[in-house]
Amino acid sequence: MINKFLIGIFIISLGFSLPASSQTTDTLKVPMEEPGQVDTVFKPLHQEDSTLRIRNLNPYITLHVDSTLEYELEINKDQSNYFWYLMNAPVGLRVNRNTGLLSFKADKGFFLSGRLKYDKEYKVNLGIQNLDNPHDKLDTSFILLFYNTEIIPSKVKPAVNNILYVDEGDSISFKVQCEDGSFPIEKITMTSNYPLKTIGVVTHCGDDFVWSPPFGFVKSTDAGKEKKVVVNFIGVTKFNVRDTAVVNIIVKENINYPQKVLEFNEVKRSISKYISQLKATFMHLDKQVKRTKNTRTSLELSSAATALGGTVFSSLPTDGQKTAGKILPSAGVAMVPVKESVAPTKTAEQRQNSATLIRNSIKRLEYSLQNNALVGERDPEIIIKTQKMRDSIKEIQTQMIEVPLVDIEDSEADLDKYFNNPKVNKKYRMKK
């Protein structure tokens, strides 16, 4: 709207500035070729410039940051009756209300404090008002731009310190920010001394760097069980001016708890299954030992009863009874090799020793399970406890290599009930 108004004023001023002409009759008599012809001459007429306008206003003013502006504005009328004013003027810009002197001193403090900015067009509204006639006024505008020849470098500023510590399996996240100078950073390139699989790509200021070091990233050969990752963020301006920010990430070895818990549970399941198999074997051997003892006891009682019967029959009066008394002791003696053949002592002792060994092995494995139980979901000693249980079952399996194991046919409850039976436990207690 203001531009149309200015164009109209400019056209009107041109119209008033052109010399006006009027036709007058020349009374001088000159020779004429034809009678009756009149010679005419055009003379300019002076017209008054009545429209208020500014003669020397520059619509676009550029100013250095350390320079001073003194610009006296002129109008086509007497300035003593007019009042000058500014609207939306930047900090430090002034106009003398009586003379129209436009002045400005660009102090660096205005720019350092952020009240003024470089390369920003400030539209300043300028007006002049007649003190006597309220309708005699003029409102216009011009552009004021500040520039600086000093080059302030732009810098890449990550939102963290240059040294970070992170454990395997954990994640690290921070913003890659920029400190803008004379020419802002337009593109960022990321490099590192190890290939990193990040979530997203850092290419511009304000992007997020997100990375989670995987388990196994730190090798067993690394010194101190840690590895140093150097990440470089290289920022480039439109004039290919570079700035580099370096972030050192120290990755420490950590336990892969989900995987280690699975390994722990697998070892625990194997030990529990092996314990059940040992309990089934123990029950089988213990029953065999009990059966052997019962057989030997029966045969020994029969042999003793036969010898006693021979003594009794020998004291009877009849010849037949005395003959039976002589035969019965021989029958009792004949039962001894039968006893050793049916229920040999050596076999019974071997089964007894095997049952005792199996029982002790079961106790050791159960103690290993109890002693190496996990404390919470993230037990820091889970690796050590898993290895201890592996060593325990390996040692027991080595000892049981000559003992044939039976298949599990009974339930876990039946096996536990038999193994913890007081009568069974009594046979395997230490006797005084």
Joined tokens for residue 86: 């500014």
Q: Please tell me the least confidently modeled range out of 27-36, 47-56, 328-337.
A: 27-36
Number of CB atoms found within 10 A of residue 384's CB:
11
**Coil, helix or strand at residue 142:** strand
Domain boundaries, the chain: 60-147, 155-254, 258-427
Q: Is the pLDDT of residue 285 over 90?
A: no
Which pLDDT does position 290 carry in this prediction? 72
Burial status of residue 132 (CB atoms within 10 A of its CB: 0-12, 13-18, 19 or more): exposed
**108 CB-near residues (< 8 Å, 6+ apart):** 65, 66
CA dist 183 and 107 (Å) reads 21
Are 60-147 and 155-254 equal in CATH topology?
A: yes
CA dist 431 and 416 (Å) reads 24
Its CATH class, for the domain covering 155-254, is: mainly beta
For the chain, how far is it from start to end, CA to CA, in angstroms?
Answer: 119
Span 229-269, pLDDT tens digits: 999 999 999 888 999 999 999 999 888 888 888 999 999 99
Whether the Cβ atoms of residue 120 and residue 145 lie closer than 8 Å to each other: yes
**375 CB-near residues (< 8 Å, 6+ apart):** 381
**Coil, helix or strand at residue 188:** strand
Q: What angle do CA 172, 219, 388 make, to 5 degrees?
A: 105
Please report which confidence band the pLDDT of residue 391 belongs to, taking 50, 70 and 90 as the band edges: very high
Which pLDDT does position 177 carry in this prediction? 93
Joined tokens for residue 385: 């406890």
**8 CB-near residues (< 8 Å, 6+ apart):** none
Percent above pLDDT 70 for the chain: 75
Joined tokens for residue 410: 């009974």
Q: Is the pLDDT of residue 6 over 50?
A: no
Q: Is the pLDDT of residue 98 over 80?
A: yes
Stretch (H or E) spanning 78: none
Q: Is the pLDDT of residue 18 over 50?
A: no
User: pTM of the prediction?
Assistant: 0.50
**310-319 exposure pattern, b = at least 16 Cβ within 10 A, e = fewer:** beebeeeeee
CA dist 95 and 125 (Å) reads 12
CA dist 88 and 95 (Å) reads 13
Residue 24 corresponds to which amino acid?
T
Which pLDDT does position 329 carry in this prediction? 62
Span 35-44, pLDDT tens digits: 555 555 555 5
Whether the Cβ atoms of residue 61 and residue 143 lie closer than 8 Å to each other: yes
**49 CB-near residues (< 8 Å, 6+ apart):** 13, 16, 17, 76
**61 CB-near residues (< 8 Å, 6+ apart):** 69, 71, 142, 143, 144, 145
Span 107-161, pLDDT tens digits: 777 887 888 888 889 999 999 999 888 888 999 999 999 887 777 889 999 999 9
Q: Is the pLDDT of residue 2 over 50?
A: no
Q: Is the pLDDT of residue 343 over 70?
A: no
Q: Is the pLDDT of residue 208 over 90?
A: yes
Q: Among all chains, which residue has been given the structure tokens 């003593």?
A: 80
Joined tokens for residue 47: 């017209």
Span 290-326, pLDDT tens digits: 776 666 666 566 666 666 666 665 666 666 656 666 5
Which pLDDT does position 296 carry in this prediction? 62
- Average per-residue pLDDT in the chain? 79
Q: Among all chains, which residue has been given the structure tokens 């802002």?
A: 184
Topology classification of domain 60-147? Immunoglobulin-like (2.60.40)
